[in-house]
Amino acid sequence: MYQAIVFLPLLGFLIVGLFGTSLGAKASEYITSGFLVIAAVLSWVAFFSVGFGHGEVFTVPVLHWIQSGGLDVSWALRIDTLTVVMLVVVNTVSALVHIYSIGYMHHDSNRPRFFAYLSLFTFAMLMLVTADNLVQMFFGWEGVGLASYLLIGFWYKKPSANAAAIKAFVVNRVGDFGFALGIFGLFVLFGSVNLGTIFANAATFIPAEGAPQDAAVLTFLGHALDKQAAMTVVCLLLFMGAMGKSAQVPLHTWLPDAMEGPTPVSALIHAATMVTAGVFMLARLSPLFELSHSALTVVTFIGAFTAFFAATVGLVQNDIKRVIAYSTCSQLGYMFVALGVGAYGAAIFHLFTHAFFKALLFLGSGSVIHAVSDEQDMRKMGGLRKLIPTTYWMMVIGTLALTGVGIPVTVIGTAGFFSKDAIIETAFAGHNSVAGLAFVALVIAAGFTSFYSWRLIFMTFHGEPRASHEVMHHVHESPPVMLVPLFILAAGALFAGIIFHGAFIGEGYAEFWKASLFTLADNHILHEIHELPLWVELSPFIAMLIGLAVAWQFYIRSPEMPRNLAAQHRGLYAFLLNKWYFDELYDFLFVRPAKRLGSFLWKTGDGTIIDGLGPDGISARVVDVTNRVVKLQTGYLYHYAFAMLIGVAALVTWMML
């Protein structure tokens, strides 16, 4: 069963990638989508049998891969609760995106290539989440990077799509460099890249408090590090990889630009799966991160800052997909805060619920874009509520889940109410030095999230139409093949929290997670959140209401207020609209110097010095000499006689001397 879950998407990619042109677009769509539906159903079977069963961690061998000296890497699938949760997320969302794309990409002439890329991405992500060793995880890690590049730049004739694909690829290479160094460091420290071996030795790796410290075990950047310092450095390098893949500041700049790809790509890669790879990786390696409180503190701070930063930028964005993209960036920050304070179950629970409502919002926005003739600027929408009512209610459900609507101190609420509020509460209960700051940042971000989410709904669906008469005349509801996936995702957005919160973060979490996360039975933070002050539990709910009220005031009651406020605070508005000028800063610090260096090495180093003094220079001198020698051959007899006389005179002079 597990081999089928992992390799059916690969089979679909190979069939359609190699023979898609011969098979035709329809057959390509049905083959890839059919395989993904089967994989998704099997994933749910695995989820209930492993997560709610009594089995321990086990591996499914595939084949021998690398054997070199002390390095023994076998290709095997590691199956535990964390794995099956990710299998459900990846395959369910991917299957629904495949089906949705049948309608959304109907007019595209390159559908076989698109569906092949989708299946390739899904296979790479499955390789990542089922990895039993770090080399296999890195293989899947790079595979999703490749598939992301191909899908973001799918419309390669658009310069903006090519630029976005290259940007995503380059920024991720920065993070992947750190991830690779982290893997090398773990091999040096533990002599293995197999997760089972590393976890078995991690518990006794750091000397007990009061015991004599060991000598240096790792040298990094010229510094000899003992075990504690080495573990901190390795964890920070691993986190650097997570920052790139999961779009955390300062490696976040690629995510909003990645919206240049087709909308189903945004839903699959940049909302539900690929960007959660960093969260998954830290949760998988939680036994290592628990050995370095410094690394966990950094994770908490970066997550809190990203959640706040992305929420502020989302307040003023006008592209419907970019608003949701910055929301994704912000919600990923929430997950890293939970990881940083040790609430790994809460982080994965939010990953799980976020996949449903964020994919719903992205596919819903795709339905809006489909209805308004590919327009993405919300300032050119409005008044769509009665024209596309099904899409409207699906977007409202996604917004309710994202903003965490529910009844506090009860078990009634949307998916985000359970998972996001749990993270805010764990931040308050956290024990590292920045947990309090993270709590404040997350509550503020919750208010901002509510504001920009309802702003999107009000600007898109309410008020007077701002599109042209021709566009409004052609507005139409999406076909059933696009709406059915929205219904399924909406069910997850509404009920996933109610159904699964007990297993993920409630009474049954120890039995559910078993040994797949760091000793949750000994981790008291999820117990502590049930004993928090009432005002802490109410704070995200109050922030949500404030955001909703302000959005209603700005975009329903007094639509001129946002314009006047922006005019009064031009500097702040420009600062947020230009995303805190991160792109301009990176352009000044890295891009321009790199271009100047490249230009210098090209024109001066290569052109002037290497070619000028080397091949080009030598050939030019030979040509000069031969041209001068050729001039001696005039064909006149008296020139030759004169040259002979000069030679005789020179010879006689030499003999006389």
Distances (CA, A) of 8 to 20, 35, 369: 16, 6, 31
Q: Are 308 and 333 in contact (CB under 8 A)?
A: yes
Distances (CA, A) of 395 to 239, 251, 460, 482, 483: 33, 29, 10, 14, 12
Tokens of 333: 């920050």
Looking at residue 70, its pLDDT comes to 74
Rg (CA), the chain: 30
Looking at residue 463, its pLDDT comes to 82
- Quick: pLDDT tens for 220-246: 887 888 888 899 999 999 999 999 998
Looking at residue 90, its pLDDT comes to 93
Looking at residue 209, its pLDDT comes to 60
Position with higher pLDDT, 210 vs 198? 198
Question: In this structure, is the dihedral angle defined by the CA atoms of residues 601, 602, 607 and 610, taken in order, positive or negative?
Answer: positive
Q: Which of 252, 489, 255, 278 is nearest to 367 (CA)?
A: 489
Q: How confident is the model at residue 265 (pLDDT cuts 50, 70, 90)?
A: confident
Looking at residue 356, its pLDDT comes to 92
Taking the model in full, what pTM does it have? 0.89
DSSP annotation of 464 = S
Q: Which of 45, 190, 32, 37 is nearest to 120 (CA)?
A: 32
- Quick: pLDDT tens for 417-449: 999 999 999 999 888 889 999 999 999 999 999
Is residue 270 pLDDT above 80, yes or no? no
CA pair distance 115, 117, nearest whole angstrom: 5
Looking at residue 633, its pLDDT comes to 78
CA pair distance 269, 102, nearest whole angstrom: 17
SS3 content of the chain, % helix, strand, coil (to 5): 75, 5, 20
Is residue 134 pLDDT above 70, yes or no? yes
- Quick: pLDDT tens for 170-181: 999 999 999 999
Is residue 210 pLDDT above 60, yes or no? no
Is residue 519 pLDDT above 60, yes or no? no
Q: How confident is the model at residue 609 (pLDDT cuts 50, 70, 90)?
A: confident
Rounded average pLDDT over 1-24: 90
Q: Which of 98, 107, 86, 254 is nearest to 169 (CA)?
A: 254
Looking at residue 125, its pLDDT comes to 93
Looking at residue 616, its pLDDT comes to 77
Looking at residue 272, its pLDDT comes to 65
Instruction: Work out the percent of the chain whose per-residue pLDDT is above 70.
Output: 97
Tokens of 166: 């290259």
Position with higher pLDDT, 443 vs 617? 443
Rounded average pLDDT over 586-613: 86
CA pair distance 230, 225, nearest whole angstrom: 5
- Quick: pLDDT tens for 41-84: 999 999 999 888 877 788 888 888 888 877 888 889 999 899 99
- Three-state SS string across 417-437, please? HHHHHHHHHHHHHCCCCCHHH
Distances (CA, A) of 633 to 159, 422, 622, 642, 643: 58, 94, 17, 13, 11
Tokens of 423: 């993270």
DSSP 23-85: H-HHHHHHHHHHHHHHHHHHHHHHIIIIITS----EEEEEEEEEEETTEEEEEEEEESHHHHH
CA pair distance 377, 362, nearest whole angstrom: 15
Position with higher pLDDT, 514 vs 550? 550
Distances (CA, A) of 320 to 55, 196, 325, 402: 45, 44, 9, 15
- Quick: pLDDT tens for 5-15: 999 999 999 99
Strands 223-225, 406-407: pairing is: unpaired
Looking at residue 241, its pLDDT comes to 93
Query: Cα 22 to the chain's mean position, in Å?
Result: 34
Tokens of 539: 């704070």
Is residue 291 pLDDT above 50, yes or no? yes
Rounded average pLDDT over 622-628: 86
Report the 10 Å Cβ neighbour count for 117.
24
Looking at residue 457, its pLDDT comes to 93
Looking at residue 213, its pLDDT comes to 60
Instruction: List, in order, residues 6 or more apart from 162 with CB less than 8 Å away.
Output: 153, 156
Looking at residue 514, its pLDDT comes to 83
Q: Are 279 and 351 in contact (CB under 8 A)?
A: yes
Side-chain half-sphere exposure of 43, counting CA atoms within 13 A: 28
Is residue 525 pLDDT above 80, yes or no? no
Is residue 523 pLDDT above 80, yes or no? no
Is residue 38 pLDDT above 90, yes or no? yes
Is residue 216 pLDDT above 90, yes or no? no
Looking at residue 521, its pLDDT comes to 42
Mean pLDDT of the chain: 88
Looking at residue 212, its pLDDT comes to 60
- Quick: pLDDT tens for 303-356: 999 999 999 999 999 989 899 999 999 999 999 999 999 889 899 999 999 999
